[in-house]
Structure 1
Amino acid sequence: MLKWDGHTHTQFCYHGSDAPIEQYVERAIALGFQRYSVTEHPSLPIGWVNDRKLFDELGMPEHELEQYFQYVMNIKKKYEKEIEIVIGLELDYLHGRQDYTDQLVAKWGHVLEEVIYSVHYLPAADGNYCVDFTSDDLKQNLLAYYGSMEKLVDVYFDHIELTIQQAGKLPMNARIGHINLIRKFQKQLPPLNEAQFQARLERLLPLLQTNGVGVDVNVAGFRVTSCEQEYVPEWFIKKCVQLDLPVVYGSDAHKPEQVGLFWDWYEQIVSSK
């Protein structure tokens, strides 16, 4: 099995660590990884969320994209004899602003080798809100707007389905990011309907096949005390493997010490019959 961390961040992430990429990559090398994808959050449309301080932390400013790509290309060259570096981004599904993403991909597609495509935002009464900022923010601005967890979860998975369709149109490899991110605050939310999650996840399988989109087996939920669970359930991973859908481990590291965490858990699942 190729030892590959397919979802990582850098000092260009304003809600992560300011440690240089080299520290992340050198940890990956020390842990025996053979491939390492750098998938930073790009810029967002101005005013995408109403909170300006939060907005400034969600993605790098647009003018930094060129610097980011050049830096990762230099890292790719620097470590080419030790590990394969893949140049990527973690794109967001921007409901109603697909034009922004299309322009970004058109401008940087010549250097962009792969994409994690994620749902972090859902629309509410007065704008877009994060599903993964704080539990209080989610309750006050999304749960209150949609009226129930069942409705909120359905809207979230509706957006996941739209994201898969958009990801399938990209000219580079794409994976759907942390499919169950809506569970990040599950210990602080009203009870979740497990049958609903099962049904909505099963609906994704043929859609992933049809669009040729892979799955980011994101383990960051293990690190979150309000979740303490992987963002892609074991049964779903095994089903993807059976269907020959691409599955790639993702540490979602926002600090160097998070690179490679829970790899053994992932390896055991995808290796088991």
Structure 2
Amino acid sequence: MRWPADYHTHNALCRHAIGSPWQYAERAVAMGLEEIGCSDHSPMPQDDYDNWRMYERQLAGYVEAVLEARRRFPRLTIRLALEVDYIPGQEDWIRQLAARYPWDYFIGSVHYVANGWDVDNPYKLDEWKRRPVEAVWEEYLNRLEASIRSGLFDIIGHCDLPKKFGHRPQQDFLPRYREIFRVAAEANVAMEINTAGWRKDCREQYPARAILEAAHQAGVALVFGSDAHTPEEVGAGWAEAVELARAVGYTHWRRFSRRKAEPVAL
């Protein structure tokens, strides 16, 4: 089988992962992948915004590290990318990042639903006790839709992230997802199956199967991401993820190069 690319990987620069891009590339080769994307967390204008991303001054070094991985593994296609947080008011900063280097794609992710609160941060779990779960999900989805409408991103990252620690809403948000996916399909923005959810408390890929089905029905293209934070996690759960994608009707995944896309048979 020719595996789809792993488009969501991190490295030690983000301060909560280990390894260099070349080590993730080495693992990709060992897993039989033909393509991988380096997509570490982008810097913010303020280096002290949080403690889980590279500093702005390290961006050039990150790009060079990806180029080094390409030199070490010339037969592996290695994409240069970033996972970029969508935060209202940061749009100009994201445009500046986009203009700096020949990126292959940007993953647009929503981690923050309020100033200072990243919903997936294990050190801020008490915040969940201060807000209704439904209200958190509603704000998350509003920001998710805004990120797609911004035109700044190529891929939607882990689109039901608030479930990470088991905080699932009683309200049925599937109709809201259908609205969001109509916007994504019109904007030609892809979505990832992110296998990291199988390694978290939610014990489920991002997104849930019903949400993935809604994305397929809306015509949203698909990519795959392990969200690897160690080299050993590259391609984790790939067989299961491909089986799931096929089961809901996907026949292709989307390849990115210099922010242009093409379909590849699954």
TM-score by structure 2 length? 0.85
TM-score by structure 1 length? 0.83
Structure 2 residue runs of 5 or longer lacking an equivalent are: 250-266
Deviations 1:134-180 (A, max 9, x none): 2x62443x652xx41111110010000011112x345xxx1010001
Shift of 1:253: 0.1
3-state SS in 1 of match to 2:198:
helix
Of the three residues 220, 224, 228, the one matched with 2:196 is 220
Identity level (%):
28
Other-structure match for 2:84: 91
3-state SS in 1 of match to 2:14:
coil
1:16-35 to 2 correspondence within 5 Å? Answer: 16-17=17-18, 19-35=19-35
Of the three residues 165, 175, 193, the one matched with 2:149 is 165
1:192 and 2:169 aligned:
yes
Other-structure match for 2:119: 131
Contact 1:3 1:32 in 2 (8 A): no
Other-structure match for 2:137: 153
Of the three residues 63, 69, 79, the one matched with 2:63 is 69
3-state SS in 1 of match to 2:37:
strand
Q: Which amino acid aligns with 2:134?
A: E
Other-structure match for 2:210: 235
3-state SS in 1 of match to 2:13:
coil
Shift of 1:250: 0.5
Contact 2:178 2:215 in 1 (8 A): no
The ranges of structure 1 where at least 4 consecutive aligned residues each deviate by more than 3 angstroms after the TM superposition are: 238-244
Other-structure match for 2:111: 120
Structure 1 pair 151/194, CA: closer, same or farther in 2 (3 Å)?
Answer: closer
Shift of 1:184: 0.8
Shift of 1:35: 1.0
CA distance in 1 between counterparts of 2:179 and 2:217 reads 16
CA distance in 2 between counterparts of 1:114 and 1:78 reads 22
CA distance in 1 between counterparts of 2:205 and 2:40 reads 21
Other-structure match for 2:255: none
CA distance in 2 between counterparts of 1:207 and 1:242 reads 13
CA distance in 1 between counterparts of 2:171 and 2:230 reads 32
CA distance in 1 between counterparts of 2:47 and 2:64 reads 27
Q: Which amino acid aligns with 2:164?
A: K
Q: Which amino acid aligns with 2:242?
A: E
Contact 1:87 1:114 in 2 (8 A): yes
Deviations 1:76-123 (A, max 9, x none): 233122x11111000110222222212221223xx2111111001122
Cα RMSD (Å) of the superposition? 2.0
CA distance in 1 between counterparts of 2:209 and 2:4 reads 19
Other-structure match for 2:260: none
Other-structure match for 1:52: none
Structure 1 pair 78/236, CA: closer, same or farther in 2 (3 Å)?
Answer: same
CA distance in 1 between counterparts of 2:54 and 2:86 reads 16
3-state SS in 1 of match to 2:54:
coil
CA distance in 2 between counterparts of 1:209 and 1:90 reads 20
Other-structure match for 2:264: none
Other-structure match for 2:43: 43
CA distance in 2 between counterparts of 1:12 and 1:99 reads 23
Q: What is the number of equivalent residue pairs in this alignment?
A: 247
